[in-house]
Structure 1
Amino acid sequence: MVSDRGGRWGFVYRSRWNVYRALRRKGMSKTKAAEISNEGRTRAGRSLMARKAAKTQQAKGRRR
């Protein structure tokens, strides 16, 4: 179960639980999934992640 309790139990914003669960289903660790899902809480955070993903794919030589 996803926790919004914090501290030793971890923390994921309630509005981002679906994202967290999806990442966990893909085999991501609890810590990494929580970091990604929490970062996407604001529009600025999602935009930041999109720019980072685009840069990563460009560095790997992938096409759009």
Structure 2
Amino acid sequence: MVSDRGGKYGFVYRSRFKTYRALRRKGLTKQRAAEISNAGRSFPQRSLMARKAARTRQARGRKRH
């Protein structure tokens, strides 16, 4: 588990650790997975990220399956 100590030991909120592990399984680096999982700590933050991702997909011309 990523430590709560922070610094070189890393830091991910306990409530977001499942998300962190899922991102790591997808092949993201520890740093990138931690950035994404920590960014979505609250529901409004996650909603904001979802909307941004949808706009990105739309701009790149990808269809939703």
TM-score normalised by length of structure 1: 0.90
TM superposition shift of 1:8: 1.8
Aligned length in residues:
64
TM superposition shift of 1:63: 2.3
Residues 2-61 of structure 1, C-alpha deviations (whole Å, 9 max, x = no match): 222112211100011110001001100001100110011111210111011001100111
Identity %: 72
* Unpaired runs of at least 5, structure 2: none
Please give the root-mean-square deviation of Cα atoms over the aligned residues, in Å. 1.0
Distance 1:63 1:38 in 2: 28
The residue that corresponds to 2:19 in the other structure is 19
The residue that corresponds to 2:3 in the other structure is 3
TM-score normalised by length of structure 2: 0.88
* Unpaired runs of at least 5, structure 1: none
Off by >3 Å, runs of 4+ in structure 1: none
